[in-house]
Amino acid sequence: MFIIERMKEVLKVEGLPVSPAELEDVLLSHSLITDAAVIGISNGAAGEVPKAYIVRKDNTLKEAEVMEFVKERVAYYKQLTGGVEFVNEIPKNPTGKILRRALREKNQDNANSTAPILTVYHLNN
């Protein structure tokens, strides 16, 4: 099998190339997944890590099941260490091409809005 895609869509995980299309094909082989898209998200040590956006057939499919499904089918560095997010639809252009930029922006917006809040308590001895 040969997978040909634009080089800028290939992720670099620990210096190794990871094809989002390959991971999407694996995800789409799951009976409870109707659509999927994979993007790279920044991760200090690894560079980028794959994150999946998934449209599921019903709400019984959980993130842990998806992670295990992928883990059994791909090399360790291709696993979805960036996580899984369930969505109602994958953004696409009129020709059906995945709009990865929109997913990256969504991921960035989520990261900004869910920043941890640090609470400092001063204890008097």
CA distance 12 to 8: 10
Residue pair 101/80 in contact by the 8 Å Cβ criterion: no
* pLDDT tens digit sequence for 76-95: 999 999 999 999 999 999 99
Which contacts qualify for 27-30: CB closer than 8 Å, 24 or more apart? 27/52, 27/54, 27/66, 27/69, 27/70, 30/61, 30/66, 30/69
Q: List the structure tokens of 105.
A: 């922006």
What is the value of pTM for the model shown?
Answer: 0.80
* pLDDT tens digit sequence for 13-67: 988 999 999 999 999 999 999 999 999 998 887 689 999 999 999 999 999 999 9
Any idea which architecture 7-113 has in CATH?
2-Layer Sandwich (3.30)
